[in-house]
Chains A and B, each alone.
Chain A
């Protein structure tokens, strides 16, 4: 890729890192909210018994 390979791979690598981080962060947030909601449901059920 000529003399610019470092710049091209730097830009592509940075993009991929940010895209993967975004995806993992979104999935982690969703998983946290599922756990939180499930815990809430269990607590509410426990309180009404």
Chain B
């Protein structure tokens, strides 16, 4: 088991494994996103109160989940890179930033589009919305900090510290609807005992969430492979691979 992990942390091994898995993950993501969208926009029944406006959740909820997942993965990888000095971990962390920022932007933007007809406002300084906006600033700060250094080692270390400090915002976002009296609704799907959503509406959401996660992983694979190429450009193994 440890040997497998150790092997996976080697850039040449990860480069090959990610390259082999990429087509499978990408196609699975595309199929699931297509099926989820059809399920959510066409097959799911309209909500009795919100009508068809509720269908925005099929893009909003997966984006919000992925924003938290991307940040957690980025901070974990940055932490591993900082503690164990694994170069690949820093490459993975750097690869999570742009997709993570995109999903956070999408969560805010699609939530805002839903908010206008349902709440009567595009934006409210509510605990959930504000903490999600702080997450976007953390992603943007992480990207800006990385770009501020010419030396990749310094960029890795400085951005890793920011990513680790920022992880405190993730539980705040998740529990904000419980800790504060917010306009944003509480947990619907993650109430494991009984999700307060009917199965006809739930399955497209789960399919969209799985498809979005696979899409995110495919993006991270492509970006990590690019990072490896950038960092290992003098390595002998790369010369063989690129022949």
Point out residues on A near B: beta carbons under 8 Å.
1-5, 7-8, 10-12, 14-15, 18-19, 21-23, 25-27, 29-30, 32-34, 36-38, 40-41, 44
Complex CA distance for A11 and B53, rounded to whole angstroms: 10
Let me know if A22 and B52 touch, CB within 8 A.
no
Please name all residues of chain A whose beta carbon is closer than 8 Å to the beta carbon of B53 when the two chains form the complex. Answer: 2, 4, 7-8
**Interface residue stretch chosen among B147-155, B169-177, B215-223:** B215-223
Residues of B within 8 A of A12 (CB): 37, 41, 56, 58-59
Counting CB contacts under 8 A, is B139 at the interface? no
Which residues of chain A are within 8 angstroms of B41 by Cβ–Cβ distance?
8, 12
- C-alpha spacing A11/B239, complex, angstroms: 44
Indicate which residue in A10, A15, A22 contacts B98 across the interface (CB closer than 8 Å): A22
Asked if A33 contacts B230 (CB within 8 A), the reply is yes
DSSP majority for the A interface?
helix
Q: Are A37 and B242 in contact (CB under 8 A)?
A: yes
Interface residues of B, dominant DSSP: helix
Q: Kindly count the residue-residue contacts between A and B in the assembled complex, taking CB atoms under 8 Å apart.
A: 98
Chain A residues within 8 Å of B225, by CB: 30
Kindly state the separation between the CA atoms of A44 and B233 in the bound complex, as whole angstroms.
11
List residues of chain A with CB within 8 A of the CB of B51: 2-4
A18 / chain B contacts, CB cutoff of 8 Å: 102, 105-106
Residues of B within 8 A of A8 (CB): 41, 52-53, 55-56
* Chain A to chain B: the 9 pairs with minimum beta-carbon distance, closest first: A4-B53, A33-B229, A15-B59, A30-B226, A1-B52, A26-B222, A11-B110, A33-B226, A11-B113
Q: Which of these, B219, B227, B238, B242, contacts A22 with CB under 8 Å?
A: B219
> Are the C-beta atoms of B226 and A41 separated by less than 8 Å?
no
Query: Which residues of A have CB within 8 Å of B242?
Result: 34, 37-38, 41
B234 lies within 8 A of chain A by Cβ = yes
Q: Inside 8 A of B226's CB, which chain A residues have their CB?
A: 26, 29-30, 32-33
CB nearest to A23 among chain B residues: B219
Which residues does chain A contribute within 8 Å of B109, judged by CB atoms? 11, 14
Give chain B interface residues in 77-117, CB to chain A under 8 Å: 98-99, 102, 105-106, 109-110, 113-114, 116-117
Whether A4 and B110, one on each chain, are in contact in the complex, defined by CB atoms closer than 8 angstroms, is: no
* Cβ 8 A contact of B46, one of A2, A7, A19, A38: A2
Listed by A's residue number, 19 A-B pairs whose Cβ atoms lie within 8 Å are: A4-B51, A4-B55, A8-B41, A8-B52, A10-B113, A11-B56, A14-B109, A19-B215, A26-B219, A26-B223, A27-B222, A30-B225, A30-B226, A37-B242, A38-B242, A40-B233, A40-B234, A41-B242, A44-B234
